[in-house]
Structure 1
Amino acid sequence: MNTVVQVVQQRKALVALVGGALLGLVLGLAIGWWWWPVEWTNSTPGNLRLDFQSDYLIWVAEQYDVNTNQEWARSRLGVEYWKEGQLAETLEALAATLDGEQASRVRKLAQDLGAGPSATPATPEAGDDVVVRLGSLAMVCGVAILVVALVAGLVFILNRWRASQAVSEAPRRGVGLRPSEEVRWGVEGPPVAQFVTTYVLGDDHYDPSFSIELENGEFMGECGVGVSETIGVGAPNQVTAFEVWLFDKNDIRTVTKVLMSDYAFHDEALVAKLAPKGEPVLAEVGKDVVLETKTLRVRARIVEAEYGMGNVPRDSFFSRMTLDLATWVMPGQWGTQPTAGADVPTMPRTV
């Protein structure tokens, strides 16, 4: 179930488009078949099923034999709605299948109607059925177009909202990343590498890592951040603690410290659970967390930390976390480490 929810969250636009198309299809079928179905009324004898048509023509012939009212017969047969010559052919074919008085009556009806003035089809009236069908089709198409337009509008608004969010978040990621005091790094000198990473609620696969290399390209190790513990149920995951780690190729161990929410840091059970992973640290904006190995040193500065709101204790999970990871080679270990006299800071990589 969680996998399905994650897929939906990652492909919201596609899900909205497919869902809108399915909704439009269902609405179209409902409108066309249940709410406003096509109803056939005032059909002419020429449109009847063959057996019903034969019975009706025989009945008209019998009544005409009694009243001999040609106008009545023409009205009952809807002569003007038949194609030219079609009615006469139909009556002759019907008479051929009958015998006795029935055949005589049908032939007499055909002869009398054929002797009268030829009927000119009334074009507007003959097209009534076509108009009904076109009207129904136009209504269904109109509703379908309306639904598609609505879905397209929602997708457009969603994309615009995401774009505006991305634009508004861009400056926020830079806030505090390059404070003026970092222009001079003190006795340590500028770092060999500096990285910036931001977690946002909903990124359930958050696990960035960064390679630490010297100027000559020599690989020294890696550092990174990952999700250490979550609380609550459902999606997205509610992260209550992060792991900041440092791997040194020249050391036998990986150093880890756990950045905990205010709730987790003061929960003895959670502290005891996470302590084996690394030293627990309360996540506070501006705090520096230092990790050291045999040849490397990482300073993880908490640039931004925001808590989320939900059906969990207050200040128990993060909605946003930004870390600035600056790395140095330990003094006396490698000659390529920049000196303290350097004034130009290393530009951080942002993730």
Structure 2
Amino acid sequence: MVGLIIELIGRKTLIGFGVGLLVGLLLGWIFLGWLVFPVKWTNAAPVDLHPGYRELYLDLVARAYAADRNLDVQRLLGERWSTAQLQETLQTMVNKAGPAEVKRLQDLAQALNLQVSPTGAVQPPPPKKGGVSPLLQICLLSLLFILVVGGGGYLFLLRRGRARPAGAQPSISATVQPTAWAGEAEKPMAQFVATYTLGDDYFDPSFSIETETGEFLGECGIGISEAIGVGDPKKVTAFEVWLFDKNDIRTVTKVLMSDHAYNDEGLRTKLAPKGEPVLAQPGQTIDLETATLRVRARVLEMQYGTGNLPPNSFFERLVVELAAWQKEGEAAA
């Protein structure tokens, strides 16, 4: 019966039908399953997130717990966290965190009956002795030498090709001695200066705000918000100036814009969700305020870059001073 059907339809026709069916299934699966009706994950628990986002979520929980020790951290973490997974994630975060972050993470770990502490880099185990012949060892060492020399020469040429523009200087960000500010009755409890120069594509300094006794109150800083154009280095047209208050558990942000970005309706609309827009001008002051902290940021120096982009559209250099005060009544509390 099957042979009769094959003879009636034709072997080539049947093969073509089978191939067409297989190709149709594959194309339908790719088109419908991935483009038209893709799988969408919803209501994921924190433990199901990507490792990087799990660390971000634990950092937020640690900040919240630092502000209120009565919080139910187990409820905030959600379900299905294993002890080993929490221990491993917190230990990884502690190993790459600063002093203030380490203290918060250790407090969270203690609340979860865990112990974490900063550790140095793990040393690789010594190589096992094997029966490699001296001739093979010489060949391997020669190959390694060639790779090291060749790789070093390549990196040297690559770095020369990506050198900073002539006259550019590295960015500098540092804590400075507090000085009196106009309109302020007292000197700030902390003062910082952040300097950006064209070519620093990872400009994102942050500073801890602490009392004289070392109690952590919050953080402030400035970072790249938006760049325009293409190619390296980034042509930064706007920066974010921000303040985090541990007692407020939120971050207040304002966007410091170039003249071009400030007057471009499209860019202003795009950056509006990040914070209130402020036009960058020499001497311009930006005020940020939370529940217990105030930060004033002042533009000390600024210089626009030149090139094929619109005039006054990106920064060649920007120096911003940030000063922090604890609100009246909070210091006594």
TM-score, normalised relative to structure 1:
0.46
Greater relative CO (CA pairs within 8 A, separation 6+) = 1
TM-score, normalised relative to structure 2:
0.48
Larger radius of gyration: 1
